Amino acid sequence: MTPQNIAIVKATVPALQAHGEAITSHFYRIMFESHPEVKAFFNEAHQAAGSQARALAGAVLAYATHIDRLEEIAGALPRIIQKHAALGVLPEHYPIVGGCLLQAIKDVLGEAATDEIIAAWGEAYQSLAALLIAAEEEVYRANAAQTGGWRGEREFRVARREQESDVITSFYLEPTDGGPLLAFSPGQYLTLVLNIDGEPLRRNYSLSDAPGKPFYRISVKQEEGGRASNWLHEKAGVGTVLRVQAPCGDFVLQPAGERVRPLVLVTGGVGITPAMSMLESVAHTGRPVHFIHAARHGGAHAFRSRVDALAARHANVKPLYVYDAPRESDRPHATGFVTRELLAQQLPADRDVDLYFLGPKPFMKAVYASGLALGVPKQQLRYEFFGPLEALEA
């Protein structure tokens, strides 16, 4: 970008702070009206809740604020690149987004959005788009080049279903072509490319078992009003063929390194799914694992028998179950919520652990704050969002 356009973009920061969410909300409206073909890439629940617009407004503001020192926001790019690659975002989608975003800036800011500002933002968008397109192409190429890999969509058949809780069902997926499976890292997810009643949808679901098996397993919560999850639970029986994008995601279990730190997995609700993949991958290694799971009650608790079996077999696995509304027959280890005090009891005195956590956003904010307050190094706190990326700091 030219120095002049960088200066113009930075000068728009106050306007973005004041009107960013109005711009992004309007952006989604006009894009979906003029290009309905891209709606499949977006979750309508996140749109209705406003989280998608808030997340995009934050991203646009961060980009404008750091346009002259992009290295400060480079850490956010891998997650964006992986999410785009998982969904199958292609170069031809970028002009649609760019054109609608510039139009939204014009519409919301009115006369304040001068030709110079629109031109500067056009250059800023093209610069970022070129970076993302190149990086996403590398992901597509790398996936296709590996044993069992593919590019685009591949057909899988539901080979088995298992009820894991009152609301979570596991689907075991095997490729219809009989070929090998691409290896994945514990914590990654698949994207299902669906068509429900004539409406195309794309949804991410975490892989919930260890790599190296002749199937992929996803475990899906039946969400109230969730079109994809309800269709899977009600219609996707054994033999159903699904179109699937290759595994992606940067929320992955990192190698233990020379000094093996204890692994602390803290999950709430369906957040247990990627943690199961991590647990299944390390239980046999001897690495200390604290597996803390929060659920409403025993009926909503998925994988309890499997975690108990791993703990019985491997002394390094220490489970702790917390129910906030236990039934009379339930036997949790604790009742209430995952508090700072509860975490403190599970962590070693030096707090030198790798703490991975995932669940509803209020749960994640509480765990994040507790981890920091207890002295876990910030770089050893690792988390993922099932929805749009938002800040965990209060």
- Provide the angle, in degrees to the nearest 10, between the axes of the packed helices 93-109 and 115-145: 150
The DSSP secondary-structure symbol of 207 reads B
> Can you tell me the distance from the alpha carbon of 52 to that of 232, in angstroms, rounded to the nearest whole number?
24
> Can you tell me the distance from the alpha carbon of 279 to that of 275, in angstroms, rounded to the nearest whole number?
6
**Closest alpha carbon to 128 in 81, 172, 170:** 81
User: Active-site residue 72, yes or no?
Assistant: no
The DSSP secondary-structure symbol of 197 reads T
The DSSP secondary-structure symbol of 217 reads E
Q: Which of 28, 63, 94, 172 is catalytic?
A: 94
**Closest alpha carbon to 53 in 18, 30, 24:** 24
> Can you tell me the distance from the alpha carbon of 362 to that of 151, in angstroms, rounded to the nearest whole number?
36
Q: Which of 21, 28, 125, 136 is catalytic?
A: 136
> Can you tell me the distance from the alpha carbon of 320 to that of 159, in angstroms, rounded to the nearest whole number?
32
362 exposure class (CB count in 10 Å sphere: 0-12, 13-18, 19+): exposed
> Can you tell me the distance from the alpha carbon of 291 to that of 307, in angstroms, rounded to the nearest whole number?
8
**Side-chain-facing half-sphere of 191: CA atoms under 13 Å:** 23
Length in residues, the chain: 394
The first and second tokens of residue 250, run together, are 């940067």
What is the CA angle 299-361-252, rounded to 5?
A: 85
> Can you tell me the distance from the alpha carbon of 356 to that of 360, in angstroms, rounded to the nearest whole number?
14
User: Active-site residue 71, yes or no?
Assistant: no
Active-site amino acid positions? 94, 136
